[in-house]
Amino acid sequence: MKCDMCDKPAVVHEVTIVHGVKREVHLCVDHASEAGVAMPGISSSTNKLISKFSAGGKPTVMAPRCPQCGTSFAQIRQHSLIGCPDCYDTFEEPLGRLIERAQAGATHHVGRENASVDRPSERMQRERRLMDSLANALSNEQYERAAEIRDQINQLSDESQDESLESETT
Amino acid sequence: MSGQREPRGEEHRDDDASSAPDLDVVLSSRVRIARNLHGLPFVNKASEDQCEHVVKTTRHLLMHIPSNDRMIWVDLEQSSSHERQLLVERHLISRQHADNNIRRGVAVAENEQSSVMINEEDHVRMQVLRSGLQLSDANEACRSMDESLGNHLEYAYRERWGHLSACPTNVGTGIRLSAMLHLPALRLTNDIDRVRQAAKDLHLAVRGFYGEGSESTGNFYQVSNQVTLGRSEEAILDEFEGTIIPTLVRYERAARQVLFDKHRRELEDRVFRAFGMLGTARMLKLEEAKKLLSSLRLGVCLDMLRETDANITMNTIDNLMLLVQPGHLRQHVNCTISPEQARGVRADLVRQILIGD
Ligand SMILES: [Zn+2]
Ligand SMILES: [Zn+2]
């Protein structure tokens, strides 16, 4: 079994039951010590020290969780199910490796883009950036540069009009 | 419960199957696209209210997307297990979707050529089915459904990952192409394991008649692409429909030819024994019926039954493959029956359809 946080073999395995929900944690040497877990083989005084900090009997391992849905990466790997869109951002790196394995090494999307609402907002962001640099150029009296930027802005709004015409006719 | 209806139990899908391309090897083609709604947890983490929200949002849209086919909504939470069984047997919902226990439903086109599962593993799973090898056609229909829905729904999407899915195996395009193949000759010539290995090397999944988790009975295999990320829909389709499936079809046909040329007597024996059994048996188990129908289908493809009086076509057999399933038998007799009774009903139905007994 592999570590929940990386691809190294897990040496610490903990199963806890919190509010009736079973939770498994598997960690490698590095991540276990980082998480402050008592390790077999580490001197007993260190273990005692650690257990003092984790008084109350509950294990102290804190696997990072998706702030949106509360899923940990261990759960994702265990069930091969991701909790929500934000999990993709929270666990981008380990999830990326999982996806790569499932997808014959692919790491990026190629193909149809999101049909819906995203595009206008991307365009608006670009427009806003251009407006900012236009203001900048004007305040620095870089008129040639400002003219260039204005052309780009005009082009952008032309494109958006074309697109909205297209979507009206289809 | 307006707009609800019993799924039909009798006739086959409405497309003209008799002229479907490559029907001798490819029973049917399917294109499925998985989508999730922006700003909501995936189904496995969604609350009851969130599931309800997905149903409410999509149901209305599905009833009104521009399409040639009227869509009928089936509320799976309210439906009987018999109804759900029929939908599974007709490949309109997955076993998982039938058995799940959350707010969920399916929109089924009246001609049964497409369906949209709501709250299966992903919020939206739309699929288009066609007889024979017609993946481009199915893909076109599925794409237009995706676009119609995408105009009204905001899908969960990231620039890097494309369309987000609950399972890492569906991220990116979310597209799954599959073909239901009948490969009896490759099985008889012992080449099927080589085909399975080749399929694995090409990142294809090979499954049984009901897809995920099901075993192959009667030499029916569902082959589908496994990679959904890093390749465009067109590239996936081109390879699958242009190269992979035609290659498998060619192998199977070549194997059939070898059997026909070199082992004609054995082949005829197999086909006519199947015909005899199906035409006389008084009780048939499902597995047995499928194996026999598989042999008979091979005989029909090789035009071996010409000399009999029976006018059996591939469509007759493919239709029987549907009808001998437990849900369809129950629908046929219109009451609950025990497994033993089902064997009797199955045998009677097969005789009636095959030889007019
Ligand atoms: Zn580690
Ligand atoms: Zn999440």
**Domains, in order of start, for chain B:** 18-255 (3.30.590.10), 264-355 (no CATH)
pLDDT the model gives residue B69: 74
Per-residue confidence at B218, pLDDT binned at 50, 70, 90?
Answer: confident
Higher pLDDT pick, B271 / A119: B271
pLDDT the model gives residue B180: 96
Q: Judge whether A170 lies within some domain.
A: no
Task: Please identify, among A21, A38, A56, the residue that sits at the C-terminal boundary of a domain.
Answer: A56
Distance from CA of B347 to the nearest CA of A (A): 42
pLDDT digit string, tens, across residues B134-159: 999 999 999 999 999 998 999 999 99
Distance from CA of A100 to the nearest CA of B (A): 9
Nearest Cα residue to B329 out of B321, A138, B21, A122:
B321
- Beta-ladder partners of B220: B182
Question: Are residues A161 and A124 part of one domain?
Answer: yes
3 state DSSP class of B29? strand
φ, ψ at B69 (rounded to 5°) = -105, 135
Sequence-separated (6 or more) residues with CB below 8 Å from residue A58? A16
Sequence-separated (6 or more) residues with CB below 8 Å from residue B10? B323, B331, B332
Q: Which of A50-54, A135-139, B68-72, B84-88 has the lowest mean pLDDT?
A: A50-54
Question: Are residues A77 and A50 part of one domain?
Answer: no
pLDDT the model gives residue A42: 46
pLDDT the model gives residue A5: 77
Could you say which ligand is closest to the alpha carbon of residue A71? 2
pLDDT the model gives residue B182: 96
Which residues of chain A have a pLDDT value below 70?
A: 12-23, 29, 32-62, 115-129, 131-132, 156-170
Q: Judge whether A2 lies within some domain.
A: no
**Residue range B176-187: average pLDDT?**
96
Cross-chain Cβ contact A88/B161 below 8 Å: yes
Q: Judge whether A145 lies within some domain.
A: yes
Q: Judge whether A115 lies within some domain.
A: no
DSSP label of B114: E
Cα–chain center distance at B180 = 7
Structural domain containing residue A134: 120-165
Q: How many CB pairs under 8 A join A and B?
A: 121
Query: How far away, in angstroms, is B341 Cα from ligand 1 center?
Result: 58
Q: Enumerate the residues of chain A whose CB falls inside 8 A of the CB of residue B119.
A: none
Domain count, chain A: 3
Cross-chain Cβ contact B227/A69 below 8 Å: no
pLDDT the model gives residue B111: 93
Q: Judge whether A144 lies within some domain.
A: yes
Write out the residues of chain A at the interface with chain B, using a CB-CB cutoff of 8 A: 68-71, 79-85, 88-89, 95, 98-99, 102-118
Q: How many angstroms separate the Cα of B289 from the Cα of each of B82, B324, B349?
A: 21, 8, 11
**Residue range B243-254: average pLDDT?**
96
pLDDT the model gives residue A124: 56
Nearest CB among A79, A84, A118 relative to B157 is that of A118
Nearest CB among A89, A108, A112 relative to B230 is that of A108
Distance from CA of A124 to the nearest CA of B (A): 17
Residue of A nearest to B165 (CA): A82
Nearest CB among B151, B164, B232 relative to A116 is that of B151
Cross-chain Cβ contact B150/A115 below 8 Å: yes
Cross-chain Cβ contact B161/A114 below 8 Å: no
Q: Judge whether A28 lies within some domain.
A: yes
* CB-based contact B113:B128 (threshold 8 Å): yes
> What pTM did the predictor assign?
0.77
* CB-based contact B329:B323 (threshold 8 Å): yes
Quote the ipTM score: 0.89
Q: Would you say residue B13 has pLDDT above 90?
A: no
Query: How far away, in angstroms, is B46 Cα from ligand 1 center?
Result: 29
Q: Judge whether A6 lies within some domain.
A: no
At residue A19's C-alpha, the angle toward residues A18 and A21, to 5°, is 65
φ, ψ at B71 (rounded to 5°) = -95, 140
Distance from CA of A114 to the nearest CA of B (A): 7
Residue of B nearest to A97 (CA): B168
**Residue range B67-77: average pLDDT?**
87
Q: Judge whether A5 lies within some domain.
A: no
Per-residue confidence at B63, pLDDT binned at 50, 70, 90?
Answer: confident
The amino acid at residue B299 is G
